[in-house]
Every structure is written in structure tokens, then in C-alpha cells.
Chain A
Amino acid sequence: MKKICAAILAVGAVVLLVACSSAVTGGKKDGAQSGPTSESAGPILAQHPPMSAQEKLRPCVECHKEVTPEIYTQWYNSRHGIDIVKCYQCHGTYEQMYKVPPVSQCAICHAGETMNNPSAQPCWDCHLEHTFKGH
């Protein structure tokens, strides 16, 4: 029981910390969400605000255009945006949603690049999530 409580607290702490840092850096000029760097280069599950079944029947962008406008704009103007790679392809849907997806998600389309990544860092450290500039 103690372990479970500790686990819940820890998850809560992670969520709060990540959420807070987002709020702090949201107004940066480059618009970058603060996310993990190579120090914490693993996936992070999302704690999406609870939605009713009806509310879930909406494309992510419908809310996120307003809730995370910079990310939306970065994505929309990126190659993913032009080629219509949608949020759920990287981040999943409600039953298993990632705030920071595992790199194995990238590898579904970018297997070659992922296997040949010369650095130990996840893709977005250099390619900058949502904008995803190429070489």
C-alpha cells in the first residue's frame, strides 16, 4: 500500500514538475516547450485532463490550436504538418497517451534514421520537436 501511495505521489510530482516547466517556458521567443534532454531521454506518459466520451470525439487540433498555439503552429508549418502526420501518430490516444513519445514511435516511419542516429540523444534534441527541421 505504501509503495502504491509513493508511486502515485511520484507520478503526481512528475506531472506537476513537467507542467510547471511548460508554463514557465511557454512564453519563450523560440516557443520551445521545455522537454527532456538527453538526461531524461525516455518517454513520459501524458496526464490529459479528463474528457467525456463525447468530448474525446474531436481531433486533437480542435482544442490544441488554442491550448498550445505555438506547438500547433510549429507542427502546422513543419513537414509533418504539410504531410498531415497527426498528433495521435506520435502521442497516441487517450488509452495510452504520451507527452513525450518513445523513440520507437519515430522509428515506425524513420527506422533508418533512428538506427543510424550518431548521437545518444533522442531525435528531437537536435531536430526540435514539432518543428522537426531536417539536415
Chain B
Amino acid sequence: MSLTRRDFIKRSAAMTAASYVGINLPFTHQNAAQAADADTWVRGTCRLCGVGCRLEMGVRNGRPVALRGVPKARTNYGYLCMKGMLFYKIMQHPERLKVPLYRARKDQPFREISWDEALDIAAKEFADAVRKYGNDSTAYYGSGQCLTEETYLFQKVMRGGLKTNNVEGNPRLCMASAVGGYLTSFGADEPIGGYANVERSYCMFIIGSNMAEAHPVFFRRVMRQKLDNPDKVKIINADPRISPTSRIADMHMQFRPGTDLALMNAMAYVIIDEELYDQKFIDDYAVFRVGKDAKQVDLASFKADLEEYSPEKAAKICGGNITADDIRTAARWFATSQGTLSMWCMGINQRKQGVWANNLIHNLHILTGQLCKPGADSLSLTGQPNACGGVREGGGLCHILPGHRVVANEKQRNQVEDAWGIPHGRIPPKPGYHTMAMFEAVNEKKIRAIWINCTSPAQSLPNVTPYRKGMQSDDVFIVCSDIFPTKTTECANLILPTAFHFEKTGVYGCTERRSQITPKAVDAPGEAMPEVWMVREWALRLAKELNDPVIKQCVAPFMDKEPDYELPKAIWDEYTQKLTKGRDNDLRGATYEVLESMDDGVQWPAPTKEFALTGGTVMKFVRGSDPMAETEAKDDKPYQFYGPAHPDRKLWIWSRPYVGAGEEPDADYPLYLSTGRIIDHWHTTSMTGRIPELMRANPYSYVEINPKDAARMGVRPNDMVEIETRRGKVEMPAKVVEGPMEGMLFAYWHDMDEDRMINKVVNDAYDPGSKEPEFKICACRARRISGPKALKPYITRLNE
């Protein structure tokens, strides 16, 4: 790089002047990686999405000052997205909840009270509800962002103590269909492989996911694999919307929302028609099934069911840009690649037919034998950082128990009761209310006391208006534990300030079955406390109120343990050593000691410490990779599908028909409405909305409108648009972009502002199997209201 003399003089002068003022810092290797002069760096996991990036928090004088990636971590290899880079900024935010707050009635302002008072109130109200209305009038609604120790202890006290299975969490809203799909297709929850498959994959099928924005650091690996092997690697992106993920796609399949079932059936049709299936794999490992009673059928029957999904017929159903040729090409790439990896997220899960949509993806892999070998996997992307570890594995849904057990199985209930040292029969035999039923039960005054932890259903539920109204009633006592005021704390009687990530110790289990630990690095502000401490203290008071020593027994192993480290450690030990022992998510090797020593963490099953230290099971069910494939082996085949839900130890290929969305467009509401996240904001914005960089990048929710629709509606960029469905109206500024297909709007869902809160208008119909709502598709109409307005970003504050 040669400089002209003129440039050289200019630059030298600039250099000199700058040095004079001292704003120029010398560059050396030594201070290169030392952002912000931290005293110490503490290794943990990112607080945000389900990728599970490993990072280090820089601490100076007891305050968090920076975040940086861990280069050797096998999840993110050192990379971070903007949220992972910046979330330390909210920890010392002035609006952090610092003291318990209480009001007897919800029209009163909150007043500060002591922890003793707060816990007494929480115990008395729940005890009163039990006495007056029965055990099932109490409930816990938690989160895929809680630490595993928190979810585990809460559900232990609810089930074993308060004798109710009204334990739910927001993963019901995002991952329940993926769980249902894995259980019915593979017989076991969670992916067979993990991220390592990306670098060995030659065909990636990304459907119902904008992973470039929702899982950016994992997307980096997909992008890299494609850019490094541009001709060898094929990427298929199937989405009614063109998104940033589509940039690396070789083929973008744009189909009418909901018709992906027909599309995938058509790909299966081609695979069978052109004999691209792996006969040996099917013979060795699979059966065909159909219907509610899972009747076993054969390939001929399965093929006959696909007749109505020939590529030509499916293309007609799908509309969009789908052609029969593209379907054939996609199917051929899928079937014949050296290793095919599918990845999907809410576009597939948040559907009335979410379980079926999951099954159809798994079908393609089972038919073609694209499983269990390097680069081949059916990888559901998990949205939240601990939906897998805490909720799915730790027993945080109304119908399951820790260690991948089910409430309905008496033997398994008894195993859990024995592990807890409580009498058989304490855990009720029937599942509790699933999420939508739970909040309906609040409306119907069947639930009188509910503890909501680390989530904001008053903004995140579909068709949220009636549910929020129910929560605002004085007939239900609501405890809300959180770090900031939210739309949900607005409905609470009691607000408990919680310690944030890195202010307490605990484990998150991410998308790829990997459990990773985050230790306490700094003190929580004010009197904020870890949830595990709250639950223990609450349980002790409940035991007194209800004169029930078994409630005390539930927390007996955790007495006198200090809350920052020893308490969560004791909980983790009980969960892993007693509840996961011998289960398919065996985590006995993943002790705190082991986890603390690792750059990343442990993929289960990992029954021993030695094995855990290597990183655990890379590929489930594969002998040589999965120790349980050895111990559970029934023959000498290389793959052993020992999942607890399939006694026949087979993978099930399901015949599923195409069924449309719960609410399709019609004459009154002629457009599709879909919603989703954008990269800068996390969910309800309670965290990211308090970080200036992120708020400025996306200060409000926008609605994306296809240019053809915009032209018809007379809408220009930033015009205000009213979106109306049968459930209500919202207004948002418009982005006119070749994003959503023609006839479809796509609105961002993060905004707390009443006028822009899109969940007010989306549909709460849900999958009959998984009970997961259909956020992704409903019918709307839209009109231009005005030109651009100077909008204000909105974050809720206390006592507003």
C-alpha cells in the first residue's frame, strides 16, 4: 500500500495532532484483547438465545464492564452477536428491581417491603388458595431462561409440596411441538447430533427459521461452510418470507404460510418415486405409522398416502414461487448429499400442526438415512438458552417430570417421589394445565395464586388481551420474580427482585444437548436474590402455613446452603445424580467441578466424569459416540434407538396430511399475518430495550409489507399502517421490502407499546398434541393510516 506524499503528510499531521491531545492509544499485542481494563474475566454462557455461546465477563471493582467470546468453545468458537456483547450493560441499570414490592390490590401503587414480609405473604396467599380452592388453584409459570436449578426446585415444591402439576413455562409457546415431534418420530426428545454436523454437511435445509437473526452465531458456521465450499454445499431456505438467512441460499422456496406440510410431503413423494430412499436404513431402523393409534403400515401404504402430494399438486397448493421442478431438485439434493442437515425454529413449531410439521422433517431424514452419520442431522433450533436443560429435561411442563419422565406413568412418578424421599402419591397422577389452559383458568377464576418467574406472559401470550385482563383481576394473587418492571409485573401483587445472570450460579442446557455453567461474578444490586433461595424460603413458610412437613422435606437437602454457589450446586447434584441416572439425558458426569473446568460444557448422555470431560455424546444412538448406545444395545447394529417413548426402539415415519392454518385469510381478512424476532432485540425487550445501541437499531416494531401489496395499499416506507384481526388492532410503521410474499404481512413482536403490541392480534389456536399456539399464521386486514410519525420507543416503568 503506497501512499502519495500528500496522504503521508496528512496522516502524519493527524497523528501528531492526535498524540498531542492524547486521544490516540498505542497499539500493542498486550492490551489488544483487554477491552475496558478488567481486573478479572469470568467464564460463563450467554444470557440470550439457544445457541449457547460461551463468553467471559470482564469485572472491574466488582462491576461488569465487558463481555468477550471464548475462542475454544465448541458452540461459538469465540464469536458473539451484539446481544451477547452488550448485555452486561443492563446489570447496573438504574431500573433494576432491588427490593420486594407489594400491593394488596392491583389498583394500588407498589410499596417496598422486606424479604421476610414478602415471603410470608407469598406463602400465606398460596396456602389460602389451597385451603379455599384446592391444590390445583395454585400454579407456577416459568421460563426457558431460568437456570436448571431454579426450574427443578420450583417444580419439586409445586409437585411434591403443593401437590399440583400446574407447572408450566414459556417453552410451551416455542418448543413444545419440537418436543412432540422428536418423541413421536425418534422416541426421545432433543437432537441426535449437534452443531459439529455443520462443518461436515453438504446440504442444509433451513425451514421456518431466520437463523441469521435468531441464532446469528450458529448461522456464522452455516455461512462459513457455504462460503468455504460454494459449489459443494447446497443450502435450501424454505420460508414464505425472504429473510437475511436467504442470502446464502442456493434455493429459496417461498410457499403460502401453512403449506409447508404439502411441500415436505411432496419432497417425500419424490424421494420414494425416484427411489432415493435408503432401503437398508428403513429396514434396519424404521417403521411406518399412521393415525391417532399409530397403526403400523408399510411403504406401499405410505406411498399411497402421498399420491395427493405429487410435486405438481403440491406446487398448486403451495403457491408462492414453488414449482414442481424445484421440489424435485430440493428432494434430490436432500437425499443424495453426503450429509444433509435440517434446521428449523418457530415457523415450524408455532403452528396448529406443529408436531406434524416436525414429523415431516424427520420423515425426510429417516427415509433417506440422513441421520447418525457426520453432517446428517435433524436439528431443531431451540429459541431460549435453557428451554432444553431446565424445562424439557428438568421437568418444567405440566405433563413431564425430571429426567424425561412423564406424569402419567405411575412407576416414573414413584421413582421421582423416592428420589425426593416423599411418600408415593404426592405427585398427582394427571398432568396440570398447559399454558393456554392455565391462563384460561386464571380468567375462569380456577387459578387463585400463580408465581410467574423470568417471563412476561402479559406481552408474550397470543391473543394477549383477554389473558392480560384475567391477570389484572384481584381474584388471582400473582407473584412476579424478575429483574425489571414488565407488562407482567403490572399485573402482579408481589414483585420479587431477582439476581441476574452472572449474579448467581447455575447451568443452562442449549440446543445441542450441551449443559454449560455460569458462575456468580458480581453481586446483584440492592436486595435482589437468586430464585433458588426464594423458593427454599417460601417452601419453609408454606410447610408451616399448611402444616405439611413434606413440603419442608422437598427443600430439606438444601438447608443452610449459601445461595450464591452451594445452594444451586446441591440442587444440581440432586437433579443430575438422582433424577437423570440411567435416563436418556444422563448427566451424572457433568458435575459443577467438571463443568467449571471446561471451555464449554457437556453433551448428554454423559454418565461418567471421564466421558463428560471429553465433551460428552456428539451423536446420540451411535455406538462409539454414545455410551448408552452400548449399555442399551439390543443387537449388534451400529445405531441403537433406545429412546424412552418408543418401546419398539424404531424411528417412526409418520403419514401426515396437509391441513391448513387454524385461521386462513378470507373475504373480511384477506391477508396472512406472521410475526417474528429481529436480531437486536430479545423477546419482550425488557432487557435489550434498555441498551442504547440495540434500542436505536430497532426502536419500535415495524410491519414488513411486500412492495406489490404496499403499492396497492398506497403505503410508503415508514407510513403508519393499521393491522386488524378478529382479535383487535395495532398500528405500526411500515417497511416496504421483498420480505414477506405477496398477500402476507410480517410484524416484529418485541414492542411493549400498547399500540404496537402485535400479540394482541395473533391467534391463540394451538396444536392438539403439543398445545403450542399458532403465533405464526392468522388472517388480517391492513390499511394505511397516515404518513410517517415521530414515534417514541417504549419500555414500561414501575408505578406508571
B15 pairs with A36, CB closer than 8 A: yes
Chain B 1-34 near chain A by CB (<8 Å), digits 1 or 0: 1010001001111110110110111110101111
B216 pairs with A84, CB closer than 8 A: yes
B14 pairs with A40, CB closer than 8 A: yes
CA distance A69 to B15 in the complex (A): 27
B698 pairs with A59, CB closer than 8 A: yes
Neighbouring B residues of A111 by C-beta, 8 Å: 33, 68-69, 71, 78
CA distance A116 to B705 in the complex (A): 46
B32 pairs with A114, CB closer than 8 A: yes
CA distance A11 to B20 in the complex (A): 9
Neighbouring A residues of B13 by C-beta, 8 Å: 13, 17
Within 8 A of A (CB), among B724-763: none
CA distance A39 to B20 in the complex (A): 15
Neighbouring A residues of B212 by C-beta, 8 Å: 82-84
Number of interface residues of A (CB under 8 A): 56
Chain B 80-114 near chain A by CB (<8 Å), digits 1 or 0: 11100100000000000000000000000000000
Is B79 engaged at the interface, CB distance under 8 Å to the other chain? Answer: yes
Within the complex, which residue of B12, B34, B247 is in contact with A104, where a contact is CB–CB below 8 Å?
A: B34
Is A41 engaged at the interface, CB distance under 8 Å to the other chain? Answer: yes
Within the complex, which residue of B23, B69, B696 is in contact with A56, where a contact is CB–CB below 8 Å?
A: B696
A82-B248, A115-B33 as given contacts; A43 in contact with B69, CB under 8 Å:
no
Number of interface residues of B (CB under 8 A): 58
Neighbouring A residues of B80 by C-beta, 8 Å: 108-109
Neighbouring B residues of A10 by C-beta, 8 Å: 17-18, 20-21
The chain A residue with its CB closest to the CB of B72 is A112
Is B494 engaged at the interface, CB distance under 8 Å to the other chain? Answer: no
Is B250 engaged at the interface, CB distance under 8 Å to the other chain? Answer: no
A114 pairs with B33, CB closer than 8 A: yes
A104-B33, A104-B34, A114-B32 as given contacts; A83 in contact with B216, CB under 8 Å:
yes
Chain A 90-120 near chain B by CB (<8 Å), digits 1 or 0: 0011110000001111111111101101001
Is B227 engaged at the interface, CB distance under 8 Å to the other chain? Answer: yes
The chain A residue with its CB closest to the CB of B679 is A84
Within 8 A of A (CB), among B672-709: 679-680, 692-693, 695-699
The chain B residue with its CB closest to the CB of A117 is B29
B15 pairs with A39, CB closer than 8 A: yes
A102 pairs with B15, CB closer than 8 A: no
A108 pairs with B35, CB closer than 8 A: yes
Within the complex, which residue of B11, B33, B223 is in contact with A107, where a contact is CB–CB below 8 Å?
A: B33
Neighbouring B residues of A107 by C-beta, 8 Å: 32-35, 68
Is A44 engaged at the interface, CB distance under 8 Å to the other chain? Answer: yes
A110 pairs with B23, CB closer than 8 A: no
B27 pairs with A122, CB closer than 8 A: yes
A40-B24, A41-B27, A108-B80 as given contacts; A14 in contact with B11, CB under 8 Å:
no
A59 pairs with B227, CB closer than 8 A: no
A11-B23, A44-B23, A109-B79 as given contacts; A86 in contact with B697, CB under 8 Å:
yes
Within 8 A of B (CB), among A9-48: 10-11, 13-14, 17-18, 20-21, 25, 34, 36-37, 39-45
CA distance A42 to B15 in the complex (A): 9
Closest CB in chain A relative to B317 CB, distance in Å? 32
Number of A-B contacts (CB under 8 A): 160
CA distance A115 to B17 in the complex (A): 29
B11 pairs with A40, CB closer than 8 A: yes
The chain A residue with its CB closest to the CB of B27 is A41
Is A2 engaged at the interface, CB distance under 8 Å to the other chain? Answer: no
Closest CB in chain B relative to A72 CB, distance in Å? 15
CA distance A58 to B66 in the complex (A): 25
Within the complex, which residue of A58, A115, A125 is in contact with B696, where a contact is CB–CB below 8 Å?
A: A58
A115 pairs with B29, CB closer than 8 A: yes
A108 pairs with B220, CB closer than 8 A: no
B85 pairs with A108, CB closer than 8 A: yes
Closest CB in chain A relative to B431 CB, distance in Å? 40
B23 pairs with A45, CB closer than 8 A: yes
A58-B696, A82-B247, A108-B69 as given contacts; A37 in contact with B17, CB under 8 Å:
no
**Residue of B21, B67, B227 with most chain A CB atoms under a 10 A cut-off:** B21
**Residue of A10, A34, A45 with most chain B CB atoms under a 10 A cut-off:** A10
Is B219 engaged at the interface, CB distance under 8 Å to the other chain? Answer: yes
Is A89 engaged at the interface, CB distance under 8 Å to the other chain? Answer: yes
CA distance A129 to B558 in the complex (A): 54
Within the complex, which residue of B24, B35, B78, B82 is in contact with A44, where a contact is CB–CB below 8 Å?
A: B24
B71 pairs with A88, CB closer than 8 A: no
A83 pairs with B219, CB closer than 8 A: yes
B68 pairs with A88, CB closer than 8 A: no
The chain B residue with its CB closest to the CB of A17 is B14
A112 pairs with B14, CB closer than 8 A: no
The chain A residue with its CB closest to the CB of B793 is A57
A17-B17, A82-B223, A83-B223 as given contacts; A43 in contact with B33, CB under 8 Å:
no
Is B714 engaged at the interface, CB distance under 8 Å to the other chain? Answer: no
Closest CB in chain B relative to A2 CB, distance in Å? 13
Neighbouring A residues of B790 by C-beta, 8 Å: 54
Is A63 engaged at the interface, CB distance under 8 Å to the other chain? Answer: no
Neighbouring A residues of B82 by C-beta, 8 Å: 85-86, 88-89
Neighbouring B residues of A93 by C-beta, 8 Å: 692-693, 696
Neighbouring A residues of B26 by C-beta, 8 Å: 42
A44 pairs with B18, CB closer than 8 A: yes
Neighbouring B residues of A110 by C-beta, 8 Å: 78
A59-B698, A84-B213 as given contacts; A42 in contact with B24, CB under 8 Å:
yes
Neighbouring A residues of B81 by C-beta, 8 Å: 84-85
A45-B23, A103-B27 as given contacts; A108 in contact with B67, CB under 8 Å:
yes
Leading 4 A-B pairs by shortest Cβ distance: A40-B15, A107-B33, A112-B71, A42-B24
Show 14 A/B contacts (Cβ-Cβ < 8 Å), sorted by A.
A17-B14, A21-B10, A44-B18, A57-B793, A84-B244, A86-B82, A89-B693, A104-B31, A107-B33, A108-B66, A108-B67, A108-B85, A112-B78, A114-B29
Could you list 16 further interchain pairs (A-B, Cβ under 8 angstroms) beyond the known A83-B223, A108-B80, A108-B85?
A: A7-B20, A13-B14, A13-B17, A20-B10, A42-B24, A79-B220, A79-B227, A82-B223, A82-B247, A84-B216, A85-B82, A89-B693, A92-B693, A106-B32, A108-B35, A111-B71
Binding site for A on B (CB under 8 A): 1, 3, 7, 10-15, 17-18, 20-21, 23-27, 29, 31-36, 66-69, 71, 78-82, 85, 212-213, 216, 219-220, 223-224, 227, 244, 247-248, 679-680, 692-693, 695-699, 790, 793
